[in-house]
Amino acid sequence: MKVMAQMAMVMNLDKCIGCHTCSVTCKQAWTNRSGMEYVWFNNVETRPGLGYPRGYEDQEKWQGGWVRGKDGRLQLRAGGRLKKLLTIFSNPKMPSMQDYYEPWTYDYETLLNAPAQDQVPVAQPYSLISGKKHQITWSANWDDDLGGSQEHAAHDVMLKGLEDKVKLEFEQTFMFYLPRICEHCLNPSCAAACPSGAIYKRSEDGIVLVDQDRCRGWRMCVTGCPYKKVYFNHKTGKAEKCTFCYPRIEVGIPTVCAETCVGRLRYIGLILYDADKVLEAASVANEHDLYDAQREVFLDPHDPQVQREAEAAGIPVDWIEAAQRSPIYTLINKYKVALPLHPEYRTMPMVWYIPPLSPVVDVVAETGADAEDADTLFAAIEKMRIPMEYLANLFTAGDTAPIERVLRTMAAMRSYMRDLNLGNDPQPEIPASVGMTEEEMYAMYRLLALAKYDERYVIPSAHGEEAHALEELATDCPVSGFDEELTRGSGPFGEGSGGYSTVAVENFQMLQNRQTSDQLVGGGSKAGRVNLLNWDGKGMPPGLFPERNGDTAGSGAADGPEQP
Amino acid sequence: MSTLLWIMFPYVCLAVFIGGHVWRYQYDKFGWTTRSSQLYERKLLRIASPLFHFGMLGVFVGHVIGLVIPQSFTDWLGISPAAYHIIAMAGGIPAGVAALIGLALLIYRRRTVGPVFRATTVNDKVMYLMLALVMVLGIWNTIAGGIFEIGGEYNYREGVSPYWRSIFYFQPDVSLIENAPLGFQLHALTAFLLFAMWPFTRLVHVFSAPIGYLTRPYIVYRSRDVRPGAGTGSRAPKRGWEKVQ
Ligand code: SF4
Ligand code: SF4
Ligand code: SF4
């Protein structure tokens, strides 16, 4: 047994309202730079729908993840090492910008400077890539809330085999939101595909990172990741990906996307697993067994044997304690309500999902029946094969049994708690029908519905004695003492070359620039790096406000826009 | 003059080549990349890039054989100069032409595809110009000199090659190169200039050819502080913050 610790996340999909707050805050924190305009480390997609990048789940096309060879060994779907090197000059399976979307901004200046005229002036969209006028035909969530899905949703790869049965007419379809971040897989195919060995899994907490100094821009990781969660920064020529907000995790605070989640549906915690068993579990023959195989890789932190092994492996005691309090282990292995996204890619993903009951509840409620009655819900779950099969395609490689079990559990919790809330006599047979005790059911309800901040996020911080080695120097002001040379944007050999700077410094500088500058930061061209989303009300990009007599556009920079 | 051209200039260029790479690797690991533009455009790249790169690999191998292996060695193997010439032409011309066509397509792509052109720096443009110049001169020497024998027959393995080797013995034999045809001389001079530019352009990615990939384990694990006193993630710590041992 080789015990390792992994930071993991569980999302409760029933609670996601599709507000995209997580996406926007993540973007503000991590990808609001040129070269990353099209990148969303966190994206929220409406399902059924195409997702982002468009149709990424079609592995016939994109060749991401692992496949099990005839000899039972895993190999990268896109080909072995030699093939990787031979196709290095032009990666045949890399999505182009159009598969994500071409980022754009609007020509606000013309809008505001337009002379008096009969027609209302229009702010034209300009591409941030070519700098030319741009016809917007796609975006990161074009089919949000099923917009245009009569046309698009039929191409959802996960609807394969269900095409004839699913009605995509707006009123009759089911729908839910799927927020996605990098899965920080136990068996990451992005790392395996990297020729330079720049992508690594941190041995302390399992976070998968790209070493920016070692990445040489071969782009193989973009193909390797079946979730398409490694992105190519087209300005610096390096790959970037979700960092699980490691500077925050190291000091014990949750990721930006979880912290700001409006639905409070994200859980973060440590989970212990047996690294020796990962490959074996990822190579089981039957795809339907992958879910259980991965569950068995996780170790029970309450087991004294596991604790001893963990200590022997150098995991600090407070980390083991954190693993015991972790909501992740509880949701995955105790209540067994969380499921992995696309286990069939065999990367052993570590962001798990509690599938939504809402498609079922909605339908029941529409018929006028009691949508909180256990029997009605059970019957509906049994009848509604299509959402069930669709969810199974997402979370269990097509096996509906676990989906049905989870949804029955959620339905049981719903109706059991209704009785409690209304002061009726609780019905112990409801939890019993899904194999739980009343106490367990209530505890699960507490975790899913009421859990406070520190119950949802159980994050042991890195150790104090290592503090100076952490990214956000926790013992010092993170942005102090960095000389000019180290923090400027680009060196003599093109964007991004020259010295390094830390994430904190970079963000600090960017924010400072933006707040104090009169210009559109970064050249001020229409293809520059600032769009209105990035403008925070401080400082005045020229043309944003009409000029007044004797007043130049920038005079209000220090104290904000003046009132007329 | 010939000392300047054929002794000092080459040594300065080669010194810059080596020193420049060391310096840049120290100073600018983050800028050390292919700066791929595949995200912007892939149809043209799909053809042009492999054509160019595989062509260049062939050209490189050809140069190693032609410049490094002395004629006496192939004679000893029993390969007559005529036979060698035919082998070299058969390998060299297709490789050179492929690389040149690839480069032409790549430059065409750079100029005509808007986003790619916008991502092209002055540095890139100068580099492309030099590269194209060196390659055109090289292919001219091979085809015009080697096949049509314009300007008479010339065996570079008795002139340019020993000169090249003599540089590395630190006893440069200038007379060898001075008697070479103008085409060869220009090819050599421009190549030296390209070597001097090399460490400061995107060409550095040549030295990142990821051969280690063939043997390393698939998944790389790395500790937060694998380097003594090192920072986490992607950066080394700032000077002065080395961990107390
Ligand atoms: S989801 Fe993340 S860790 Fe997994 S393969 Fe993709 S980028 Fe790598
Ligand atoms: S963990 Fe951090 S980097 Fe990753 S998606 Fe969430 S906010 Fe973005
Ligand atoms: S912030 Fe939370 S509720 Fe809103 S879209 Fe993101 S995951 Fe869903």
pLDDT tens-digit series, residues B25-78: 888 888 888 888 888 888 888 889 999 999 999 999 989 888 888 888 888 888
Q: Please tell me the predicted confidence (pLDDT) of residue B101.
A: 93
The distance of Cα A84 from the centroid of its chain, to the nearest Å, equals: 27
Element (H, E) at A240: strand A238-241
DSSP A531: -
pLDDT digits (tens, 9 = 90+) for A98-133: 899 999 988 888 888 888 888 888 888 999 888 889
Domain ranges of chain A: 18-88+149-243, 263-456, 473-546
Q: Which alpha helices (H) appear in A97-185, and where do they start and end?
A: 97-100, 108-113, 149-152
Cβ distance B41 to B116 under 8 Å? yes
Q: What is the CATH number of domain B2-214?
A: 1.20.950.20
Cα A252 to ligand 3 centroid, rounded to whole Å = 21
Contact B235 A493 (CB under 8 A): no
Residues of chain B with pLDDT under 70: 151-152, 225-245
Is any ligand 1 atom within 6 A of the Cβ of residue A184?
Answer: yes
Contact B33 A88 (CB under 8 A): no
Q: Please tell me the predicted confidence (pLDDT) of residue A389.
A: 87
Set of chain B residues whose Cβ sits within 8 Å of the Cβ of A196: 208, 210, 213
Share of chain B above pLDDT 90, in %: 28
Q: Please tell me the predicted confidence (pLDDT) of residue A249.
A: 92
Contact A90 B223 (CB under 8 A): no
Q: Please tell me the predicted confidence (pLDDT) of residue A509.
A: 66
What's the CATH class of domain A263-456? Answer: mainly alpha
| E strands in A142-224 | 176-180, 199-202, 208-210
The reply to whether A263-456 shares the fold of A18-88+149-243 is no
Q: Please tell me the predicted confidence (pLDDT) of residue A358.
A: 87
Q: How many CA atoms are closer than 13 Å to the CA of A73, on its beta-carbon side?
A: 4
Q: Please tell me the predicted confidence (pLDDT) of residue A530.
A: 45
pLDDT digits (tens, 9 = 90+) for A333-376: 999 999 999 999 999 999 999 999 988 888 888 888 888 888 88
pLDDT digits (tens, 9 = 90+) for A257-267: 999 999 999 99
- Tell me how far apart the alpha carbons of residues A111 and A415 are, in angstroms, rounded to a whole number: 55
- Measure CA of the first residue to CA of the last residue in chain A; give whole Å: 71
- Tell me how far apart the alpha carbons of residues B92 and B60 are, in angstroms, rounded to a whole number: 10
Q: What is the CATH number of domain A18-88+149-243?
A: 3.30.70.20
Q: Please tell me the predicted confidence (pLDDT) of residue A442.
A: 94
Cβ distance A239 to A221 under 8 Å? yes
- Pocket residues for ligand 3 (CB within 6 Å)? A 16-22, 44, 177, 179, 261-263, 265
pLDDT digits (tens, 9 = 90+) for A288-347: 999 999 999 999 999 999 999 999 999 999 999 999 999 999 999 999 999 999 999 999
- Tell me how far apart the alpha carbons of residues B165 and B171 are, in angstroms, rounded to a whole number: 9
Closest CA to A392 of A342, A337, A435: A342
Q: Please tell me the predicted confidence (pLDDT) of residue B33.
A: 85
What is the interface size between A and B, counted as CB pairs within 8 Å? 195
DSSP B180: S
Q: Which ligand is nearest to the CA of A226?
A: 1
Closest CA to A411 of A365, A443, A366, A380: A380
- Tell me how far apart the alpha carbons of residues A123 and A103 are, in angstroms, rounded to a whole number: 16
Residues of chain A with pLDDT under 70: 150, 161-173, 463-564
